[in-house]
Amino acid sequence: MLEWLQAFIDEPGIPEIDIGGLGIGKPWKPVSRPALAAWLIFYGWFLIYAFRADGGFLFIDSANLVVHEGGHNLFGWFGPTIGLWGGTLLQWLVPFLLAVYFFTQRETAGFAFCLFFFFENWLYTATYMADARAQVLPLVTTGDPDFVEHDFFAIFSSIDVLNYDTKIAAVVRILGWCGMMGVVVWLGRRIKATRSA
């Protein structure tokens, strides 16, 4: 299984075949070692910054908030339930789909950036989830402020897991951290791959 995953992410064994147009089978486009090093320094700095914020609002979360609120409006056309979930769905879909695009193009820096911030969104989401019962975070809405509701209070209440909000948030936060660090490790391995190329 690990060998297949390694072949999927790294240089595959048959570089002249593009499997299903997904970029699998094509080599990653080269990025200079100084550029890769600069990206690693940026990601390292961001990980330290996020760790020191200890679950607080990060500067990138302002962009995440805009996408989140847009998701409610976009998915709200399909009904109130999907509209409620739509904020988090769009917030996660935007960086994920961009990462998929850069993966198919085998663009190393773009793929890493989008995947890193896909997982960073999990930290922001975890903070919101953990607030479901306490509801101390300020709420933002694009609609009528008299009808603002806490997404995860409503979501967790509807699926009867409200009492586990902080535990669910802790798992989401850990997965977000693991994902971000995994991206950094993968990018670091790209430096090793460029040395041997």
What is the arithmetic mean of pLDDT over 67-86?
91
Q: Classify residue 162 by its DSSP letter.
A: G
- Cα–Cα dist 124/117, whole Å: 11
Provide the residue type at 112 as one letter: A
Provide the residue type at 102 as one letter: F
Token readout for 78 is: 């399909």
pLDDT at 26 (0 to 100): 81
- Which of 196, 31, 13 lies closest to 110 in space, CA to CA? 31
Q: What is the pTM of this model?
A: 0.84
- Answer yes or no: is pLDDT of 11 > 70: no
Domain locations along the chain: 52-196
Q: What percent of the chain has pLDDT over 90?
A: 60
- Local confidence band at 13 (pLDDT 50, 70, 90 cut-offs): very low
